Amino acid sequence: MDLNYTPEQQTFRQEIRAWLKAHVPSQPLESFDATRAGFEAHRAWERTLAEGRWGMVTWPESYGGRGLDLIQWLIFEEEYYRSGAPLRVNQNGIFLLGPTLMEYGTPEQKARFLSAMASGDEIWAQAWSEPQAGSDLAAVRATATRDGDNYVLKGHKIWSSRAAFADWAFGLFRTDPASERHKGLSLIFFRLDAPGVKVQPIPQIDGETGFAELFLDGVTVPVFNRLGGEGEGWKICMATAGFERGLMLRSPARFQVTARKLVELYKAHEDEVEPSVRNAVLQCWMDAEAYALSIYSTASRLIAGGHIGAEASTNKIFWSEMDIAMHKTALSILGARAELLRSAPEAGDIGRWLDGYFFSLAGPIYAGTNEIQRNIIAERMLGLPRA
Amino acid sequence: MDFRFTDEQTMTADVVRDLVADLCQPADLRRLMASGEPFDQNRWAKIQELGLQSALVAEEKGGLGLQPVDFVQVAEACGYACLPEPLVEAYGVAIPLLAETGSDAAAKVVEAALEGSALIAFGHPANPFVERADTADWLLIAKSGGLDLVKTSDAMCTLQPSIDPFRRLFSVQYDEAAALRIGAQSGIEGPIASAFDRGALFAAAQMLGIAQRCVDLAVDYAKERQQFGKPIGSYQALKHQLATVQVKIEFARPVLHAAAAMLPQANALSRARVSHAKLAACEAADLAARNAIQVHGAMGYSWEVDVHFFLKRAIALSEWWGGPAFHRRRVAERIFNGPLGPEHTFAKELEHA
């Protein structure tokens, strides 16, 4: 065990720190979920990142990356969140679909999709859930019917993150009409502006339109848009979910920066809050550190050739519950001012804690509910019998 | 940066894990308890043969020169087995401290301890009693300003029975004139502080082992026990409770391992990490033990089911080597005075962090 950064890793940190200092917008961008303008501002930032070849540092150079390992990715993320750079509008693409494409895509598919993803030219949404297929994702009904070199998509997808403004979506479709449950599904890409796609934004709890429902009525896509073999969709979807829950979706730096801000908030209001808040602040900081150490441990194992397993589920439960605790603690420090919108004249420096709190409440739901994650831990890690 | 144990580190722990798996099952614990003996002589002899007495002693002092990170998984294995014998406290804490003092007067005792012919019990002001004082040959007592080395036969040891049948606690009194004052020289505070941190770290490691054992016992039972025509482990209410415990364990473990690796830094950063590890492991053990009892139902409240051994050890260790309030204070010192943020996870020093 060696918990020291190498000189190369330290140099890398300085390099990305300097680049971010020179390039991160001085004013926060408008939310990418609220307006087209906010979305496009984030796309422009993705392009700036890509010009510096910082779009996706772990990817091979041929796809716009730097071919770096997961420890360097963690260093990148640490500096990224430290700098206050904008959230990644293309996270569905670069963090979820990207790694899966890298593993299951043909060379032609990689060439077609990865560079455009890293450059921000194509922003992705996910289209997994359906009205009757939420936690029970294998109940997917949307169909992809083979027609020569094409598939014709039909069905109703919902809770598609980023779909209101994104360019592309990837989703699970039943390619074998006689199939049931996990069999006969395929992972297929489609453009969100294709004929036959109707995008209906869904206002979220905070009034923004972060997700949408998609009505697909005879959407024709080439067979080329299928990732992996026909009928392999479930397996590939689970691999994507592993990355999503397990590692890349929520890098530890995000929470460590929140913990730092929480400590600063507490220090500023120390005299006004009740004593128990102090312990809550300590716990939040410790949890953020524990998550970071855990991810370093996982990254070290993956670099040495390991695979991500059920810890994807333990990670997802841990970060989602921690995120709620941090924001809830912040609200308790802000007291009666916590309910103010940032536009309120008296809001002062209350920050974005309320926005963050609402967003944190989605954490135990998206990327597979925490109830499903607990089933996975119980059955696959502990070996308890299925119901 | 490589957050993995080396093969050697894992092999050392495997040897201990195999030994206790062989010789320290609940049936063995019950046999020892019934006998009233302080040691299982056969098991203790086998443990001594492993040669771990010298593990954390510097090479120039005749030891193997290993570090806490080489020993932490050994302590986890001891916790998992609820080992009665003082492998962790004697080999992990007391002997390395006595050797580190470099005291000439203590040299012979160190030599005997490394050979396995003398046993040392350690008393520290953080702990109100000395564990296994009566069966030790020497008592090493830390107090403000130094260390006393006392022959056990020169001390009066009064048993203070513990709820844990295998923890033998004693209040100790001795005539200071009869003690060897080995810590009068300056610079003894550092080694004593490091010994305290090892105590806390290895207590955390044992609690993590206890936590995993409690989950494993509960899982075994939940697979067997049938109600409503199905194993109770197939019901979500129970699955979700045990999954919650496992999550606690998974996020205590990397903290423990990082704390072990950082301990030799001996500064506010490493001390906060040790304290964090102890807090996290303590919570995991507490939750695991209580859930294991719940999963066993009425059986869980019985003497017959083995969970109570682990519950009792967890209760004891959670307050030994500093309780939660003490360790939270150290974490607070780190947070309110040190650098925060993701770039400081592995910081070595406060000033240059």
What pLDDT shows up at residue B304? 96
CA distance B97 to chain A (A): 23
pLDDT, tens only, A118-141: 999 999 999 999 999 999 999 999
User: Given a cut of 80, is residue A82 above it in pLDDT?
Assistant: yes
CA distance A208 to chain B (A): 29
- Region A283-299 average pLDDT: 97
B221 assigned to some structural domain:
yes
> What's B219's domain CATH number?
1.20.140.10
Residues A264 and A314 in one domain: yes
B321 assigned to some structural domain:
yes
Closest residue in A to B274 (Cα–Cα): A286
Residues in chain B: 353
- Region A363-377 average pLDDT: 94
The domain boundary, picked from A171, A198, A232, lies at: A232
| Number of folded domains that form chain A | 3
User: Which residue range(s) make up the domain with A152?
Assistant: 124-232
pLDDT, tens only, A104-119: 999 999 999 999 999 9
Is B322 in contact with B278 (CB distance < 8 Å)? yes
User: Given a cut of 90, is residue B248 above it in pLDDT?
Assistant: yes
B328 assigned to some structural domain:
yes
In angstroms, the CA B271 to CA B322 distance is: 12
Task: Tell me the chain B residues in contact with residue A303 when contact means C-beta distances shorter than 8 Å.
Answer: 2
- Region B271-287 average pLDDT: 98
What pLDDT shows up at residue A311? 86
Query: Pick the catalytic residue: A208, A213, A244, A311?
Result: A244
B16 assigned to some structural domain:
no
Inter-chain residue contact B257 with A1, CB threshold 8 Å: yes
Closest residue in A to B241 (Cα–Cα): A374
User: B176, B120, B171: which is closest to B146 by C-alpha?
Assistant: B176
CA atoms in the 13 A half-sphere facing the CB of B137: 11
B317 assigned to some structural domain:
yes
Q: Which 152-191 residues of chain B touch chain A by CB within 8 A?
A: none
What pLDDT shows up at residue B207? 98
Q: Which 63-102 residues of chain A touch chain B by CB within 8 A?
A: 71, 77-79, 81-82
Nearest-by-Cβ selection for B240 from A4, A290, A374:
A374
| Number of folded domains that form chain B | 1
Inter-chain residue contact A263 with B340, CB threshold 8 Å: yes
The domain boundary, picked from A35, A70, A89, lies at: A89
Among A35-44, B117-126, B183-192, B260-269, name the one with the lowest average pLDDT: B183-192
Q: Is B220 on the interface with A (CB under 8 A)?
A: no
B41 assigned to some structural domain:
no
> What's A377's domain CATH number?
1.20.140.10
B320 assigned to some structural domain:
yes
User: Given a cut of 70, is residue A173 above it in pLDDT?
Assistant: yes
pLDDT, tens only, B63-93: 999 999 999 999 999 999 999 999 999 999 9
Residues A277 and A333 in one domain: yes
Is B81 in contact with B206 (CB distance < 8 Å)? no
Task: Tell me the chain B residues in contact with residue A282 when contact means C-beta distances shorter than 8 Å.
Answer: 328, 331-332, 335
Q: What type of residue is B55?
A: A
What pLDDT shows up at residue B352? 47
What pLDDT shows up at residue A245? 60
Among A49-58, A143-152, A250-259, A301-310, name the one with the lowest average pLDDT: A301-310
Pairing of strands A226-227, A185-191: antiparallel
Is A191 in contact with A225 (CB distance < 8 Å)? no
What pLDDT shows up at residue B73? 98
User: Which residue range(s) make up the domain with B304?
Assistant: 189-344
pLDDT, tens only, B186-233: 688 999 999 999 999 999 999 999 999 999 999 999 999 999 999 999
What pLDDT shows up at residue B350? 74
User: A223, A147, A154, A144: which is closest to A176 by C-alpha?
Assistant: A144
> What's A191's domain CATH number?
2.40.110.10
- Region A325-353 average pLDDT: 91
User: Given a cut of 90, is residue A240 above it in pLDDT?
Assistant: no
A241 assigned to some structural domain:
no
Backbone dihedral angles phi then psi of residue B129, each to the nearest 5 degrees = -130, 170
Q: Is A58 on the interface with B (CB under 8 A)?
A: no
Is B308 in contact with B163 (CB distance < 8 Å)? no
Closest residue in A to B339 (Cα–Cα): A260
What pLDDT shows up at residue A252? 96
- Region A361-367 average pLDDT: 93
What pLDDT shows up at residue B185? 64
In angstroms, the CA A195 to CA A217 distance is: 9
A20 assigned to some structural domain:
yes
What pLDDT shows up at residue B183? 67
B11 assigned to some structural domain:
no
User: A122, A115, A116: which is closest to A65 by C-alpha?
Assistant: A115
A76 assigned to some structural domain:
yes
The domain boundary, picked from A89, A113, A142, lies at: A89
Write out chain A in H/E/C secondary structure. Answer: CECCCCHHHHHHHHHHHHHHHHHCCCCCCCCCCCCHHHHHHHHHHHHHHHHCCCCCCCCCHHHCCCCCCHHHHHHHHHHHHHCCCCCCCCHHHHHHHHHHHHHHCCHHHHHHHHHHHHCCCCCEEEECCECCECCCHHHCCCEEEEECCEEEEEEEEEEEECCCCCCEEEEEEECCCCCCCCCCEEEEEEECCCCCEEEEEECCCCCCCCEEEEEEEEEEEEHHHEECCCCEHHHHHHHHHHHHHHHHCCCHHHHHHHHHHHHHHHHHHCCCCCCHHHHHHHHHHHHHHHHHHHHHHHHHHHHCCCCCCCHHHHHHHHHHHHHHHHHHHHHHHHHHHHHCCCCCCCCCCCCCHHHHHHHHHHCCCCCCCHHHHHHHHHHHHCCCCCC
